[in-house]
């Protein structure tokens, strides 16, 4: 699906000191999350309430929309309470879909070889992070993890970046963030983060959608450090 090679981007790696990487849709295939939230959760809800899948899906997608971009949206406990189901446990049903995106491992290997520290910045619930680490071994390449759940703010809000600043003291001018969500990149930009990369192909099952606002790549081959 992805074009074989596209021109390398002149990312000034020699000036980059802090590397912040998103997890879902950036390092890992968003297909898992899409299937889980759009199919697995509605299916379980339909079974529990003896309603059709279509009715369950319509109700649940409307509920997602009302919480989008908030900490509650990313909080599996919130959804367990709202839907009356053990949502974290449901993830096990489709855990076989948890996978790296193409060309992520060589990129992470290169960062490790260069002794660069990698920080995961994610809106994913700590339970989801633990499950994904267990399934992929991603933690072998990650030095530090910051979950919005722990910092008390989602990445779409200034509070996340301010809390991260207090926790790590990162210098925004020498910081790189790669993320598949434009509203997150926009907030990071407002907080002064200088090097922003948009991931255009978060799901292996959907065609790339390039950002008009940020440097937008299909995969990490395009920004591989020299
Ligand atoms: Mg993401």
Q: pLDDT (tens digit, 9 = 90+) per residue, 63-102? A: 888 888 788 888 888 899 989 999 988 988 899 999 999 9
Query: So what's the pLDDT on residue 134?
Result: 96
Average pLDDT over residues 163-179: 96
pTM of the model: 0.92
Residue-averaged pLDDT of the chain: 92
CA–centroid distance, residue 217 to ligand 1 (Å): 14
CA–centroid distance, residue 30 to ligand 1 (Å): 8
pLDDT, tens only, 174-225:
999 999 999 999 999 999 999 999 999 999 999 999 999 999 999 999 999 9
CA–centroid distance, residue 185 to ligand 1 (Å): 11
Average pLDDT over residues 143-170: 95
CA–centroid distance, residue 28 to ligand 1 (Å): 9
CA–centroid distance, residue 174 to ligand 1 (Å): 22
Q: Write out the chain in H/E/C secondary structure.
A: CCCCCCCCCCCCHHHCCEEEECCECCCECCHHHHHHHHHHHHHHHHHHHCCCHHHHHHHHHHHHHHHCCCCHHHCHHHHHHHHCCCHHHHHHHHHHHCCECCCHHHHHHHHHHCCCCEEEEECCCHHHHHHHHHHHCHHHHCCEEEEHHHHCCCCCCHHHHHHHHHHHCCCHHHEEEEECCHHHHHHHHHCCCCEEEEECCCCCCCCCCCCCCCEEECCHHHHCCC
All structural domains of the chain with their residue ranges: 13-29+99-223, 32-96
2 has pLDDT over 80:
no
CA–centroid distance, residue 25 to ligand 1 (Å): 4
> Of 3.40.50.2300, 3.90.1150.10, 3.40.50.1000, 1.10.490.10, which CATH number belongs to 13-29+99-223?
3.40.50.1000
């Amino acid at each position: 699906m992805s074009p074989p090679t596209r021109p390398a981007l002149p990312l000034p790696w020699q000036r980059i000191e802090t590397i912040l990487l998103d997890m879902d849709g950036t390092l890992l295939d968003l297909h898992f999350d899409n299937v889980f939230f759009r199919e697995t959760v509605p299916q379980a809800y339909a079974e529990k309430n003896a309603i059709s899948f279509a009715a369950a899906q319509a109700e649940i997608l409307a509920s997602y929309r009302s919480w989008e971009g908030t900490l509650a949206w990313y909080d599996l406990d919130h959804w367990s309470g709202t839907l009356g189901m053990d949502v974290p446990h449901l993830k096990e049903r489709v855990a076989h879909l948890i996978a790296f995106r193409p060309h992520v491992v060589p990129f992470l290997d290169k960062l490790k070889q260069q002794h660069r520290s990698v920080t995961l910045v994610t809106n994913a619930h700590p339970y989801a992070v633990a499950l994904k680490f267990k399934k992929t071994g991603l933690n072998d390449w990650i030095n530090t993890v910051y979950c919005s759940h722990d910092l008390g703010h989602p990445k779409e809000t200034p509070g996340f970046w301010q809390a991260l600043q207090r926790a790590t003291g990162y210098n925004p001018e020498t910081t790189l963030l790669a993320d598949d969500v434009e509203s997150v990149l926009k907030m990071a930009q407002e907080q002064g983060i200088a090097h922003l990369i948009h991931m255009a192909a978060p799901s292996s099952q959907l065609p790339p959608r390039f950002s008009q606002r940020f440097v937008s790549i299909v995969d990490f081959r395009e920004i591989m450090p020299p």
